[in-house]
């Protein structure tokens, strides 16, 4: 049977199981908090840090997405649920309406038996429920954006019901009001959910969880059948065969993987191991992407809107077999158009890792990062993607999501065309091949200006010389005079020593270092290092939302009026005072000979960037 037939047959079986499961699952006799324990987002009594957070919450002080502030109250004493917090950011209002502080309030109560904590929870619920009847339509409000409704059910309201359902303060009147609002949540999620993206997946998981935890609701069976079918369709719509979620963000890959992992937990807790078993291979595929992309320090590339995560811990908790150490093998993800290069440095034994993005931009949360390269040596990051920092419109968002925040080439200050948001076939945009001890990935894009829809073409080749380092070839065919700027962004810890055209630049990161050197077919260029500039924004990095720090950026600028090729040597742990570590002969027909001296090996490559697979030859000594 052909692979496509296997996939179709698999989905047919899964859909049949879903249709049979909907009205059976909600009838499972799983009423206790102990039975549903695995789905709760907290495990036990508070530690000292959590207890301190709960005490602050009693004084209306909350930390949301790393930002601490005092929640505003209305004149009548209730919370102002539309207040946007200390930074006037809608994200604050959305997160405040998720009631994400309820779990640690319960943990504080479990530890202390202090009645102030459940009293706060129930009083807050009273206020929120009375102020927020369901709109009965799609809403983008702080209270009823579907994602917030989903997160309330997943992270806080289920816990309140299961852990405090018998508490004396949860009176019959409060219970009736609470369950009526739960039903309203079910109706909202069933009829007014997002139509795509990680939001739809999260919202359908919430509807499934609501159907199972609050299974006596008259509509629970229908909600469950609907949510399971939507989760199946969302996976088919949003996950490439190579395992990447189509938003192409490591952060949202994690979000989606955790949601589907939670689906497995829900199904197992409800006793439907048969249905859970049909999902396990697909959920594992989501985790496998993170295992492939994981850096040597167990973190992740900050592609598109991402924060730094502990990938190794996520794998240990959810896919432990993928957390085991593996040989340093490079991977090509043909739909995502991402190459992950791995080997071990011949000189130091450090793990060498690089991430090259030659694929589609992503269906959401996308950045202008086409042909960006990130690179690490051992546990030290050198070339980085600068993260997301904020979703608020303005100069900071433009920088972190735009081309100036990435390791790319600018054409008269403008970024390249970012290509389609998604692709329907493998190798649609980028290519990858191996040749002896080399691994090569490449991709193409173009530049436009107000006067010229096609002002230039750009091809970037990333050549991994296994156990030695990298060579990056940028071939820019400029169809008009232009100023080219090549940007290299460094980890905030890195010390970028000033460079010159002869010896290049040495980048130090603690005890490690990296040599960056260029040979160009043009008359040369100018080096500049920028760090922490605000006008315009340049030289900043953010490894988690709402936090930024100054970081060095090397800019290499050159004025061109015709096609130009820049060849970059990247050599780890190499501070030798060499003036001839890189030598390139550029032939008139586009062919080139690259001689690169690494710490342990000299490499000579011959290739034409326009036809690398057909012309490459290599020798080393």
Per residue in 373-382, pLDDT tens?
A: 999 999 999 9
Residue 433 pLDDT > 90, yes or no? Answer: yes
Residue 32 pLDDT > 70, yes or no? Answer: no
Residue 365 pLDDT > 50, yes or no? Answer: yes
289: DSSP letter: H
Using 50, 70 and 90 to split pLDDT, how confident is the model at 16?
A: very low
Q: Is residue 368 part of a domain?
A: yes
Domain identity same for 334 and 235:
no
Among 316, 339, 368, the domain boundary falls at 316
Maximum Cα–Cα distance for the chain, whole Å? 86
Domain of 529, CATH number, reads: 2.70.98.70
Residue percentage of the chain with pLDDT more than 90: 83
Q: Kindly report each contact of residues 547-550 with a partner whose C-beta sits within 8 Å and lies 24 or more positions away, as own/partner.
A: 547/66, 547/389, 548/389, 548/396, 549/492, 550/492
- Residue burial 593-611, b: 16+ Cβ < 10 Å; e: rest: ebbbbbbebebebebebee
Encode pLDDT of 471-480 as tens digits.
999 999 999 9
Among 316, 337, 357, the domain boundary falls at 316
Domain identity same for 310 and 344:
no
CB 293 within 8 A of CB 355: yes
Residue 414 pLDDT > 90, yes or no? Answer: yes
Domain of 276, CATH number, reads: 1.50.10.100
Distance (Å, rounded) from C-alpha 249 to C-alpha 251? 5
Domain identity same for 442 and 567:
yes
Residue 4 pLDDT > 90, yes or no? Answer: no
Using 50, 70 and 90 to split pLDDT, how confident is the model at 45?
A: confident
**What is the total count of domains within the chain?**
2
- Residue burial 507-543, b: 16+ Cβ < 10 Å; e: rest: bbbeebbbbbbbbbbbeebebebbeeeeeebbbbbbb
Q: Is 65 left (phi over 0), alpha (psi -120 to 50) or beta?
A: left
Domain identity same for 351 and 479:
yes
Q: Is residue 421 part of a domain?
A: yes
Identify the residue with better confidence: 172 or 324: 172
Average pLDDT rounded to a whole number, residues 307-330 = 93
Q: What is the pLDDT of residue 501?
A: 56
Domain identity same for 239 and 294:
yes
* Residue 5 parent element (H or E): helix 3-25
Q: What is the pLDDT of residue 271?
A: 86
Average pLDDT rounded to a whole number, residues 598-610 = 91
Q: What is the pLDDT of residue 499?
A: 67
Task: Return the half-sphere exposure (C-beta side, CA atoms, 13 A cut-off) of residue 257.
Answer: 25
Domain identity same for 460 and 589:
yes
172 CB-near residues (< 8 Å, 6+ apart): none
Average pLDDT rounded to a whole number, residues 83-95 = 96
Residue 412 pLDDT > 70, yes or no? Answer: yes
Using 50, 70 and 90 to split pLDDT, how confident is the model at 41?
A: low
Average pLDDT rounded to a whole number, residues 62-74 = 96
Q: What is the pLDDT of residue 270?
A: 85
Using 50, 70 and 90 to split pLDDT, how confident is the model at 194?
A: very high
Q: What is the pLDDT of residue 1?
A: 38
Domain identity same for 291 and 341:
no
Q: Is residue 532 part of a domain?
A: yes
Q: What is the pLDDT of residue 34?
A: 64
Residue 27 pLDDT > 50, yes or no? Answer: no
Distance (Å, rounded) from C-alpha 30 to C-alpha 36? 7
Q: Is residue 115 part of a domain?
A: no
Q: Is residue 172 part of a domain?
A: no
Domain identity same for 443 and 505:
yes
Average pLDDT rounded to a whole number, residues 178-204 = 97
Residue 429 pLDDT > 80, yes or no? Answer: yes
- Residue 381's domain spans which residues? 327-620
Average pLDDT rounded to a whole number, residues 590-614 = 92
- Give how far the C-alpha of residue 413 lies from the chain's centroid of Cα atoms, to the nearest Å: 26
Q: Is residue 262 part of a domain?
A: yes
Residue 565 pLDDT > 60, yes or no? Answer: yes
Give the SS3 label for residue 229. helix
Residue 578 pLDDT > 70, yes or no? Answer: no
Q: What is the pLDDT of residue 35?
A: 65
Q: What is the pLDDT of residue 534?
A: 97
Domain identity same for 311 and 358:
no
Task: Return the half-sphere exposure (C-beta side, CA atoms, 13 A cut-off) of residue 294.
Answer: 25
Q: What would the 3-class secondary structure string for 194-216 be?
A: CCCHHHHHHHHHHHHHHHHHCCC
Domain identity same for 367 and 398:
yes
Structure pTM?
A: 0.91
Residue percentage of the chain with pLDDT more than 70: 92
Encode pLDDT of 143-182 as tens digits.
999 999 999 999 999 999 999 999 999 999 999 999 999 9
Residue 39 pLDDT > 90, yes or no? Answer: no
Average pLDDT rounded to a whole number, residues 479-488 = 97
Average pLDDT rounded to a whole number, residues 54-75 = 97
Q: Is residue 609 part of a domain?
A: yes
Q: Is residue 592 part of a domain?
A: yes
- Give how far the C-alpha of residue 440 lies from the chain's centroid of Cα atoms, to the nearest Å: 24
Domain identity same for 336 and 210:
no
Residue 134 pLDDT > 60, yes or no? Answer: yes
Average pLDDT rounded to a whole number, residues 460-480 = 96
Distance (Å, rounded) from C-alpha 281 to C-alpha 322? 13
Domain identity same for 382 and 288:
no
Among 258, 287, 316, the domain boundary falls at 316
Q: Average model confidence (pLDDT) for the chain?
A: 91
């Amino acid at each position: 049977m052909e692979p496509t037939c296997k996939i179709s047959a698999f989905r047919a079986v899964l859909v049949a199981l879903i249709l049979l499961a909907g009205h059976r699952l909600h009838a499972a006799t799983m009423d206790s908090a102990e039975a549903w324990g695995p789905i709760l987002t907290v495990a036990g009594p508070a530690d000292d840090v959590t207890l301190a957070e709960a005490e602050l919450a009693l004084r209306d002080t909350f930390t949301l997405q790393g930002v601490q502030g005092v929640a505003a109250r209305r004149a009548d004493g209730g919370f102002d649920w539309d207040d946007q917090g200390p930074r006037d950011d809608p994200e604050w209002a959305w997160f405040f309406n998720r009631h994400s502080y309820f779990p640690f309030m319960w943990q504080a109560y479990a530890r202390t038996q202090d009645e102030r904590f459940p009293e706060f929870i129930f009083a807050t619920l009273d206020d929120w429920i009375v102020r927020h009847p369901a709109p009965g339509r799609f809403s983008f409000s702080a209270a009823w954006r579907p994602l917030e409704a989903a997160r309330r059910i997943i992270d806080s309201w289920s816990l309140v019901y299961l852990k405090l359902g018998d508490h004396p303060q949860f009176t019959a009147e409060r219970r009736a009001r609470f369950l009526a609002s739960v039903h309203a949540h079910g109706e909202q999620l069933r009829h007014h959910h997002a139509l795509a993206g990680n939001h739809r997946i999260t919202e359908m998981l919430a509807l499934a969880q609501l159907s199972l935890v609050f299974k006596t609701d008259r509509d629970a069976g229908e909600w469950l059948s609907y949510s399971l079918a939507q989760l199946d369709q969302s996976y088919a719509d949003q996950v490439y065969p190579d395992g990447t979620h189509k938003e192409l963000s490591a952060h949202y890959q994690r979000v989606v993987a955790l949601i589907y992992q939670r689906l497995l937990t829900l199904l197992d807790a409800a006793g439907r191991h048969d249905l859970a078993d049909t999902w396990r291979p697909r959920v594992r595929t989501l985790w496998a992407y993170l295992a492939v992309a994981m850096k040597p320090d167990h973190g992740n590339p900050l592609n598109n809107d991402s924060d730094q995560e502990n990938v190794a811990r996520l794998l240990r908790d959810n896919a432990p077999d993928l957390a085991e150490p593996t040989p340093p093998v490079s991977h090509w993800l043909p739909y995502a158009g991402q190459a992950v290069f791995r080997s071990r440095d011949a000189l130091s034994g450090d793990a060498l890792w690089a991430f090259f993005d030659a694929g589609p931009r992503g269906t959401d949360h996308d950045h202008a990062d086409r042909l960006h390269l990130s690179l690490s040596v051992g546990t030290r990051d050198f070339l980085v993607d600068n993260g997301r920092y904020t979703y608020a419109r303005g100069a900071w968002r433009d920088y972190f999501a735009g081309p100036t925040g990435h390791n790319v080439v600018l054409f008269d200050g403008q970024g390249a065309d970012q290509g389609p948001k998604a692709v329907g076939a493998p190798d649609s945009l980028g290519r990858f091949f191996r040749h002896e001890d080399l691994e090569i990935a490449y991709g193409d894009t173009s530049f436009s200006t107000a006067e010229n829809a096609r002002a230039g073409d750009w091809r970037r080749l990333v050549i991994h010389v296994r156990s030695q380092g990298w060579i990056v070839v940028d071939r820019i065919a400029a169809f008009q005079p232009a100023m080219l700027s090549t940007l290299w962004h460094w980890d905030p810890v890195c010390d970028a020593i000033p460079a010159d055209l002869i010896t290049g630049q040495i980048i130090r990161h603690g005890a490690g270092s990296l040599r960056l050197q260029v040979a160009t077919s043009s008359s040369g260029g100018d080096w500049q290092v920028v760090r922490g500039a605000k006008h315009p924004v340049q030289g900043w990095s953010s490894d988690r939302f709402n936090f930024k720090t100054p970081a060095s950026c090397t800019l290499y600028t050159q004025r061109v009026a015709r096609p130009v090729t820049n060849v970059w040597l990247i050599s780890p742990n190499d501070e030798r005072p060499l003036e001839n570590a890189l030598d390139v002969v550029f032939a008139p027909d586009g062919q080139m000979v690259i001689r690169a001296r690494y710490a342990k090996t000299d490499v000579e490559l011959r290739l034409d960037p326009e036809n690398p697979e057909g012309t490459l030859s290599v020798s080393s000594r």
